[in-house]
Every structure is written in structure tokens, then in C-alpha cells.
A and B are shown apart, each in its own frame.
Chain A
Amino acid sequence: MDRADVVEGNDRMADARPKTTHQEPWRDPNARPYIEIQNVSKKFGDFVAVNDVSLNVYRGELFSLLGGSGCGKTTLLRMLAGFEEPTSGRILVDGIDMAGIPPYLRPTNMMFQSYALFPHMSVEQNVAFGLKQDGVAKAQVAKRVADMLDLVQLRAFAKRKPHQLSGGQRQRVALARSLIKQPKLLLLDEPLGALDKKLREATQFELMNIQHKLGITFMVVTHDQEEAMTLSSRIGVMNAGKIVQTGTPQEIYEFPNSKFVSDFVGSVNMFEGVVIEDEPEYVRIQSDEAGSRLYIGHGISCPPGARVWVAVRPEKIQITRDKPVEDDNRLFGTVLEIAYMGDLSVYLVRLDTGKSVKVTLPNQVRSAEQRLLWDDQVYLTWHQTAAVVLQS
């Protein structure tokens, strides 16, 4: 909050940056977390919006809170910004307890979902607003605003009012305005939610680029799993007020820890079954839903006879007309639906057990010779490492 403190912080940030970007500080037990959320709960009357959440975020991270509407992700963000006080628990930013500190004194800034640009001020005035509140000298303000507008490529629009800008330009003004004070933590509430798909993809990379350049810690709230996957160093998946899994995008996608996560992030085929053999090197699961024994190439250490779910991603399934040699992981069914998406095709296969399985195949060749057709009898198989066993 002190100016000197900010400058010092920037220096430290510059030193720390190569380390934080190349290593993964969350794997280092000695690393000091930058943002500490400790057992935070928030109740609105009887409704528990955030339920005992603990989370550490490290300097220079781009952390995403991913969840459906009403899962408490925005409430958590607003508690970090200071618009809500936690009912219990503590929030520390750079070691300082934020309890009782009003939003206008916090070292955090927020980019609002609606952008919340001041309609009576020009782009320039909007961006300068934060600096003016701190009493920064006029010449300094002008220089920093100009630099920031260069960064978001809005120099030419400095004199315009927000209503004279396109959605993408407004988004960049909002970003510039929230970055100008170089906050210790930038909170972004659905930053790309209001943009159309093409623009969203382009802006994702721009956002990452800016974050890398400035080294500011970002915390993004989103319901869009694709957005979270692209942007984030780590993702926290939220459900019903709790963080159900934290990890890198790859961890979240490939090693989901629950049915909820595997289903929420990407699409998945889930087969309910019973463990019949559980050895250190493999598991065999009898699944009536799949109509086959499923073989997983690693142990899961659970009591025999336990009810488990086997999750297989659609792109990890092979689909053939010829019968494979292996007996395990071999499903048989009929092609029910085919959706041609351009880059890939989605097949919906109805198994003899009545369950439908989704399979995606990349369209590597343009000709349609080998293509499967409706009502083709097909076998589905996957590698023993492709599936994940979920116990909850």
C-alpha cells in the first residue's frame, strides 16, 4: 500500500519471475505462498456460499477458479477484493492479513465481469482513475496511462468514451484500468465472458502475454473450462462452495479425483463397476454397464467388491470394425449418431447394454473412404493407461 513497498515488491518480483515461471512453486514445500486463503467460509443467512476453502497461490501465478454458477467462486473473489468479509477464516496477501481492510486500501484490483467502466469518463480518464486516487503527480499519471494504453493497444482510442468502443476494446480498457496500479493480485471476474468465440481465443493469449510481461499474480474466475485450461498455471475446481480439486490443467483433465471434476472438465464416458481384482500393478473391474471387464494398468488400493467408476475421455477410445484380440476393455455396439465438426468427428455408439458412449476421432484425411457409417457394428477399445478409476 505504501509506494516504497510497491517499488520494492516490483524488484522482488523481477528476481523471482524466472523461478516462478519455469518451476512449479506449489511443488516446493519451502516456497512461500503469496496469497493464502485459510479455512475461509462465507454465509449469507442460512446459505453457505463458500465452505471452508483453503488455498495457496504463488507469486506470478495465473490461477483459475473454475465452477458452475452459484458454486461460490465469485464470492471468493469478492472476499479477496474486500467487497465481502469472510464469516470465518483468514485471507493473507503477501503475508498481510486482509481482515477489516476496506477495498480502497487493499493491494488488489479487480476487473469486473460487466467491466464497470465509468461511462462519463474517456478511456484515458478511466485508466488514470486509480492513480489519481493515490495522488500520483500529473506528469507521472500521463506517462503511465500512455504506457498502459500502448500495452493494450488502445492509444488511438484514448479520448473516446466507453460507449464508443467495441466489446473487445472495452474489455481491454477494463484490463488496463485494473492493471495501472500494479496490484499485488489482479482479480478477473469472467474476463472473456462477454466476447464472442474468435475474439475470446485471441484475447486469451493476449491476456497471458500481458501477465507474463508484468509478472502480476492473476486470479481468474470462470465457468468456461476451455478458458481455464488455456490461461492457467493452475486450476481450482469449485463445487457447492468447496474447492474439490486443485492442479495444473493437465492434472485436472487427466487425473480428475472425482466424478464431478471429470465430468465438469471436458466430456467423459463413465462406467460404473465392481472391483474384482486389485493388485499393485493392475485392477480388473467388472462393469455391467460396459458389458465387459475393464483392465486398468495401475493399482488403486481399495477393498475388493468396492463400487467404482471408470472414466474414459472420448478421444482416448479407438473405434474399429474388426474384432480386437484383447478381451479386456473391449466394448461392442452400433453407431447411433455421427457429428462432423470439421477438425474432428464425434460418434455416439450405443452398446448392447443400452449405454451410449461418445468417441471423438480427428479427421486426418479429407477422403471419406474409411469413414464409419450409421448402424455400423463397431468395437471400442482403449489402452490400459487411458482410463481413470474414480471412487467418488
Chain B
Amino acid sequence: MPWGEWMSSGTRFINLLADRLPPLRWLLRLLPSGRGIVILVPYLWLVAFFLIPFIIVAKISLSESVTAQPPYTEIVRRVAGGQVSFAAPEKPGNAADTTGAVPAATTQTSSAQGSVDAPDQSAEIKGGPPEDVSGGFYVKFNWDNYDYLFSDALYFKAAKNAVFTAFISTVICLLIGVPMAYGIARSSTAWRGTLLMLIILPFWTSFLIRVYAWIGILKNNGIINNILIWLGVINDPLPMMNTNFAVFIGIVYSYLPFMILPLYSTLEKMDLSLLEAAQDLGCRPWKAFLQITVPLALPGVIAGSMLVFIPAVGEYVIPELLGGPDSLMIGRVLSNEFFSNRDWPVASAVAIAILVLLVIPIVVFQYFQNRQQEATT
């Protein structure tokens, strides 16, 4: 109470002062408010760890691959005085679409890595390439890398495969996760903590080690095959390692907790008297489950599915360690482009393509999250 009064009287004093001194008012406007500072923190985080890396990757994806260090050309390049450089189109047919040289009449050099904002777009359109300038730089967007993604069926196939694998894994996670989450949410309070702990417990071990453990279980002389042979069920080991089956096992195993936890939280907070009310009004228990529990658990289903689907699409480690040559997933292609081919621009283009591919489910996720928030408030 006194603090609030002190605060408000302080603000009043500053406002009074600002009324008398117009320049101070302008200064005050530049200062962020307390609320603004709080909001600023997550935005700074997003800028530092999402936007800037994204811009760097986007920039690389628009450059050309060269044998150099780093292995790509700069989009913004300084040009020797007086001479205007145009990018040499690689495919003469669609040169106008894919490449464009953007000269700008600036003498300052700013070709440091990562800065693409220096050239003025409007100046470029109005002025066109100046004939005679004493110095400057030009910008070249190389759309070939994206073109290449569409021209080579490999990328489309890998993307399709990744989405398919992620989708099937999400469905399997859902089928396993719903009964598990339901069971935990309806268990006695004494057991609930223990059961939840068991779901979270694997996270205490490194993800990589857990995937390696699956190699020990699935390989030809691994646990499953050894037991089956010992039991006399089979004579020759079942080939499970390096198959799509192993990839599914790995993804479902790794991401199942991300399905169970949001499902659990929606099921757990559900008011059980709703089911009693439904039964009281003549609804049989299984119909009450379909008409009441399922719709109310939907936000949890959506959240869990997104938490499984989105990282599974870009999954690299699991198909690399457990998958075979035919378990082609976009994350693996991306890694190959980077490290085997050393084609950073194409790898960056793949990264951007994955991002665009994932934006759609993220937007759907956001939509449902908003709707859930609306329903609970």
C-alpha cells in the first residue's frame, strides 16, 4: 500500500516535471516502462537464439557453394572501385528469377559475415545498376539451392519419409500414451507421484546412451534375438537393427514421455463429477468417455502430438544409429549435406525447408493452445 502510493506519487511528480519541461517528456518516452523491460527479456532471447541464427542460415542458403573457408560465397560483396559486378547466371534460362545483382551506391564497406541489411532495396529498384561509381558492393541472392531441392527427388522423398515416420510415431505414441496417461491420472494420489517419476526417470540418462541401449536390444545377437533363439521360437536372428522398425521403436521410445505428460496434465485436472453428471443424465460410461473425457482431453492430445511430431520430423540421431540405408529422413540428409558433401548452402536450404514444413504444425499447435486457454479462463 505505501509502496504503491510512493510509486504513484513518484510517477505523478515525474509527469508534472515532464509537463513543465517538454524536452524531458521526449526523453521519458524513450525509456522503457517496467512492463516493457519484463516483456523484453523473452524477446531478446528469441532474437539471440532464434532470429539471428535463422538469418545466418537463411543467408547461407542464398549463397553459392565454393571450395573455401567458409565453404560459401558472401551475398554482399565489396567491389573494386568503378566496376559493377553482376553474378554470372549458372542456368541462363532462369537467370532473372534466381539471381540478381543488387548494387548500391554506398562507399562504406559492411561485408562482415551475417549483415545483409546494408543495401537499400528502394534505391536499387529506382536507380538500377549505376554505371560509374567509385566504389560499392553488390548483393546476390542465389535461389539455385532451393531450386535444387525441388529438382532432386531425394529431398522430397526424404521430407515425405520424415513426415510419414513422424506421423506414424505420433499415432503409436498416442495409442500407448493415452491409456498410460489415463491410468496415471486415475490412480490413487499415493501412486501418482511414483508413476510420473517412472515416466520422467529415463531423462536422467543421456539420450544417446538410451538409443545405444536399443542397439544392444535389437541387434542380431542382441537380447531379443538371443531370447527368441533360446526359447526355440526362431532359428535365425530376426533382422531388426538398421530397419525402419528400429527407427519407429527409437522414436516412440524417446518421445513417449512428451506425449504422456501433457495428456496426463489435462486428464488429471478434469473434474470427475462431469463423468458422474453424464452418467446421471443417462449416459453409459463408455459413451461418457467419448463425449466428455475425449473432447476435454483434446488440448492435451494436440499438445502431446505436436511435442512428438515436430522434433520427430527433424530427427537425425535415431535414424542414423538405428536406421538402415533406406530410413531416409530429412534430418539425416541435412547432416550429410553439411558434413559429407560440405555443401553448406544446400544444407541451409534444407534447414529452412524443414522449418517451413514445421511452421504449419506449430501454427496449429498455437491455435489449439489459445483455444484451451480461452476455455479455462
A interface vs B, CB < 8 Å? Answer: 81-83, 102-105, 108-110, 112, 114, 116-120, 129-130, 133-134, 161, 163, 177-178, 181
Q: How many CB-defined contacts (below 8 Å) exist between A and B?
A: 64
Q: How far is the CB of B179 from chain A (nearest CB, A)?
A: 22
25 A-B pairs in the complex with CB atoms less than 8 angstroms apart: A81-B280, A103-B280, A104-B281, A104-B282, A104-B283, A104-B284, A108-B280, A110-B276, A112-B276, A112-B277, A114-B271, A114-B273, A116-B276, A117-B277, A118-B277, A119-B274, A120-B296, A129-B278, A130-B282, A133-B282, A161-B375, A163-B377, A177-B277, A177-B281, A178-B280
The residues of B that contact A102 with a CB separation of less than 8 Å are 279
Query: Is the beta-carbon distance between A112 and B281 smaller than 8 angstroms?
Result: no
- Chain B's closest residue to A161 (CB) is B375
Q: Give Cα A82 to B274, complex, Å.
A: 15
Quick one: which of B271, B276, B281, B376 contacts A129, CB cutoff 8 A? B281
Residues of B within 8 A of A161 (CB): 375
Collect the chain B residues with CB atoms within 8 Å of residue A112's CB.
273, 276-277
Compute how far the CA of A134 lies from the CA of B284 in the bound complex, rounded to whole angstroms: 11
Interface residues of B (CB under 8 A from A): 271, 273-274, 276-285, 287, 292, 295-296, 375-377
Contact assessment for A104 and B274 in the assembled complex, using a CB-CB cutoff below 8 Å: no
Q: Chain B interface secondary structure, helix, strand, loop or mixed? A: helix
Besides A81-B280, A117-B277, 18 more A-B contacts (Cβ < 8 Å) are A81-B276, A83-B276, A103-B279, A103-B280, A104-B282, A104-B283, A110-B280, A116-B273, A118-B277, A118-B278, A119-B296, A120-B295, A120-B296, A130-B282, A161-B375, A163-B375, A178-B280, A181-B281
Given A119-B296, A120-B296; A103-B284 close (CB under 8 Å): no
Complex CA gap A110/B275 in Å reads 12
A112 to B292 CA separation, bound complex (whole angstroms): 16
Considering the complex, give the chain A residue whose CB is closest to the CB of B288.
A104
Q: Which of B277, B287, B292 is packed against the most chain A CB atoms within 10 Å? A: B277
Contacts of B284 in A (CB 8 A): 104
Q: Which B residues are in CB contact (< 8 Å) with A83?
A: 276, 280
CB-based closest 8 A-B pairs:
A130-B281, A133-B282, A116-B277, A116-B273, A103-B279, A104-B279, A120-B295, A133-B283
B376 cross-chain contacts in A, Cβ below 8 A: 163
Given contacts A109-B280, A129-B281, contact A116 B271 (CB under 8 A): yes
Which of the residues B279, B285, B287, B292 comes within 8 Å of A118, measured between beta carbons? B292
Chain B residues within an 8 Å CB radius of A133: 281-283, 287
Give which listed residue, A81, A118, A134, contacts B282 with CB less than 8 A.
A134
Tell whether, in the assembled complex, residue B282 and residue A110 are in contact, meaning their CB atoms are under 8 Å apart. no
Best-surrounded residue of B271, B284, B287 (most CB of chain A within 10 A): B271
Shortest distance between the CB of B188 and any CB in chain A (Å): 14
Roughly how many angstroms separate A105 CA and B279 CA in the complex, as a whole number? Answer: 9
Complex Cα gap A317–B350 (Å): 92
